[in-house]
Structure 1
Amino acid sequence: AIADRGTVRLTASEMVGCEVLPPMLARFRDAHPGITLELALSNRNEDLLRREADIAVRMVRPRQKSLVARRIGKSPVGLFAHPRYVERYGLPKTVADLETHCVIGFDRDPQPFRSLGTMPRQIAREMFGFRSDSDLAQFSALKSGVGIGGCQYGIARRHPELVPVLARMIRFELDVWVVMHEDMRATGRVRLLFDHLASELTAFLRTR
């Protein structure tokens, strides 16, 4: 079928692109081996209107017109630590206790925190003992025991060694959207991947 041929370009954040999408894309390739996939990772929302990508997985609601956007659900985010860190420094019992711990956070770009709602507006760069604007660098630091860091629960499930921190006190939620330009609706290969991702991400968010 013509729909099973050609290239589809997908954009997503670093964490979603590296930790969430690969097994989903593997299953898509198994079903549609004639479709070439391109994955562009960026924490900046690439403009679908400029055709920088065919499909985007986004954690904020797209505002532009001419886009087809499907809200998949909410992805909860909490704080976690590696057992190596916990063994050495213990766990905070209150939010105030975090001041005595190494917290992993942003360096010069606070935008990821802005997307988490109102509470993170009070979070300042100086609070972090380890700073990076790369989500992957933050996650690697978390898994290496550098400090306490934020992580989506769906991703943390794949790393069962991670220990929840202040789970009842600190919890955010991110909206998950799959988006494409409305002109792509009739393009079979793009529609196939759009529907596949919507289905797979729905299952991912439902798993507790």
Structure 2
Amino acid sequence: MDWRAVTFDWNRVRAFLVTAEEGSLSAAARALGLAQPTLGRQVEALERELGVALFERTGRGLLLTPAGHDLLGHARAMGDGAGALALSAAGQTDALDGEVAVSVSDIDAVCLLPPILERLHATHPGIRVEIVVDNLLSDLRRQEADIAIRNVRPTEGDLVATRLRDAAARFYAASTLLERLGRPEVPAGFAGAPCVEIDRTGAARALLAARGFPVEAMRFPWRTSHFVTGWELVRRGMAIGVVDDRIGDAEPGVERILPALDPVPFPVWLTAHRDMRRSRRLRAVWDSLAEGLS
């Protein structure tokens, strides 16, 4: 192939790819950090360049046309290639100074990460860490982050991961709330107690029910997927909530409810693209995170 004849604008292809994956221009614009009109113009420019319609505009968002479906796989291959090129180029340098993006949940970013970053900065002051707060899974292959702290093992073949530890979450309440409830000594005594749900899946209710709590008789006036907000409700005595015991046990004025209850186990994985090993800067941040979180 004569590569000099290829004139595709990668920004337009990326705009199409992310819009297809996100399902709407507004969500894609947020993912890429662009204004929605700018993104829309990039998609329209690609459609004119290719001479095909890539999306059908409907009242519920965007749907891929047959041509869009046909081209999506090629766009993903281009995206993977662009990411691999950038990762490989970054891995060629032995310089320690520079930026590393670390993806982490909001509550770990607030409660666990700062002392680790403080020690890292004392040792490597030239490394600038961008903290990507994301309670979902950042896409390392698209360079949304360089390193991710996850609670699930990655399945992508071009990622490397280390299981740092098997952590435990427990149910906590403020001492003031436990006093108001009369300090129950068995799960049944928490009938009527307020709880915060951690998402729309009913996970918190299921965890409580599995430990014998009378879920149908308890109250759930709060729900959030923002873990820091949920933890603040617990700290203020407004609800019972579940959190990593390294965070919960360190919080003054908050106690485990029924300390003998079985904990909620979950793994802590450190994940990066396999080319991370070729960069001294990424390895330095990886090693600091591994030491601090293990």
TM-score, length-normalised on structure 1?
Answer: 0.85
| Larger-Rg structure | 2
Q: Deviations over 1:75-131 (max 9, x none)?
A: 111111111212222333322333320112135355x769x8x959xx89x952322
CA distance in structure 2 between the aligned counterparts of 1:91 and 1:130, rounded to whole angstroms: 22
2:139 to 43, 47, 66: 47
* Matching residue of 1:3: 95
Equivalent pair of 2:194/2:239 in contact (CA under 8 Å): yes
Aligned counterparts of 2:166 and 2:258: Cα–Cα separation in 1: 20
| Equivalent-residue separation in structure 1 for 2:157 and 2:190 (angstroms) | 42
- Matching residue's letter, 1:174: F
| 1:161 alignment partner in structure 2 | 253
Match of residue 15, structure 1, among 86, 107, 119: 107
Q: Give me the whole-angstrom Cα distance separating, in 2, the residues matched to 1:149 and 1:94.
A: 17
Q: How does 1:1-208 map to 2 (within 5 A)?
A: 2-108=94-200, 119=210, 128-202=220-294
Larger mean CA deviation between 49-58 and 154-163 belongs to 154-163
Whether contact under 8 Å (1:79, 1:170) holds in the other structure is: no
Equivalent AA in structure 1 for residue 140 of structure 2: L
Between 19-28 and 100-109, the greater mean CA deviation after superposition: 100-109
CA RMSD of aligned residues (A): 2.5
Look up the SS of the partner of 2:179 in the other structure: helix
Q: Distance in 1 between matches of 2:127 and 2:227?
A: 29
List alignment gaps of at least 5 residues for structure 2: 1-92
Q: Displacement, 1:135?
A: 0.5
* Amino acid across the alignment from 2:128: T
> What letter matches 1:48 in structure 2?
L
Larger RCO (CA within 8 A; separation ≥ 6): 1
Q: How many residues align?
A: 197
1-structure distance, mates of 2:114, 2:239 = 26
Task: Tell me, yes or no, if the aligned pair for 1:12 and 1:42 is still in contact at 8 Å.
Answer: yes
3-state DSSP of counterpart to 1:50: coil
Aligned AA (2:250): R
What residue identity is the alignment partner of 2:235? K
Amino acid at match of 2:95: A
TM-score (norm 2): 0.61
